[in-house]
Structure 1
């Protein structure tokens, strides 16, 4: 099967463009500013102790134990 030269050249160019479009490229760039990590963390810790009134009264009566 014979193809005209212009059709052959167009086919060849289109194949080359398709192959060039499929090549992966990886670029590594250095950032302009340094990397900063913000560690402003607020830690709030509460311990709640609930005591029954009877136990509280016993502790008040026998305060010499503690």
Structure 2
């Protein structure tokens, strides 16, 4: 019984430790995808309007 109790008392000492550290490089968020998507949607809407107004184009 005593070895079991000793094991239970020593078990928390072997647990993982939490380490917090600041990153060495700054965090970069790239938003180019969203901007390109917005431009593409606007151009497609403009083209749709142009094709609706001028049926003879295509």
Provide TM-score, normalisation by structure 2: 0.47
Task: Answer 1 or 2: which has greater helix percent.
Answer: 2
Provide TM-score, normalisation by structure 1: 0.44
